[in-house]
Chains A and B, each alone.
Chain A
């Protein structure tokens, strides 16, 4: 049950687009579409921003989008805004263990 691999940090200027990657294996990210992304501001509980790879819950900005290729999922934030500065975690179901697994987390900084 190893954590999914994410870059430790990604940064961008307001208005730019950034992409955060999430690499797993064929048993988790690459094996199905149970991949989600969570945003966590300091001192707050995580909030789901994408599920099933690319679906946005009601109320989440369409500036957040997701995709997947092979064993790597990606989160793209377009039109970066100051309030997007937060920690982002990917998550997947692992069919080999029947358990959930989170990514290592990525700090997104708005320059």
Chain B
């Protein structure tokens, strides 16, 4: 069964850092582009970042550019999101999701993980 399992969320102070992980099972991570999507409490979905299958190409929404880094360890079948200089507005559930293709772009994200909650507060 194809599954994604996020971890690493938690409470962090403004200006702090967190690293999220997304463990993939049932498929080979290196053959798919992957994305991170977030959802602030009671709000809509926001696409955050994408990585090509090799990890050689990465993309970010402007609000996280320079602060967040998407990466992957294909040998561990795991995707990461390193989040630095966190702000209150980064508070959200963070989902990882698989694309159909090796390369970005794509619009079909399937499956999604269950999400991990990041709370930025003092």
Residues of A within 8 A of B (CB): 1, 3, 34-36, 38, 40, 45-48, 51-52, 57, 89, 91-93, 98-105
Contacts and interface: CB of A to CB of B under 8 A. Distances in A.
B89 interface: no
Contact of B108 (A40, A48, A103): A48
Given A99-B47, A99-B61, A34 B106 contact: yes
B55 interface: no
Contacts of A99: 47, 50, 59-61
B contact face: mostly helix, strand, loop, or mixed: loop
Contacts, number: 70
Contacts of A47: 110, 112
A36 B112 CA distance: 14
Interface of B: 35, 37, 44-47, 50, 59-62, 95, 100, 104-110, 112-115
A102 B35 contact: no
Contacts of A35: 107
B46 A51 contact: no
A1 B61 contact: yes
A3 B44 contact: yes
Contact of A48 (B35, B47, B109, B114): B109
Given A45-B95, A45-B115, A52 B45 contact: no
B107 A34 contact: yes
Contacts of B45: 38, 40, 46, 89, 91, 102, 105
Contacts of B46: 102
Q: Which 10 A-B pairs have the closest CB atoms?
A: A100-B47, A51-B108, A34-B107, A45-B112, A105-B44, A102-B45, A93-B105, A36-B107, A48-B110, A93-B107
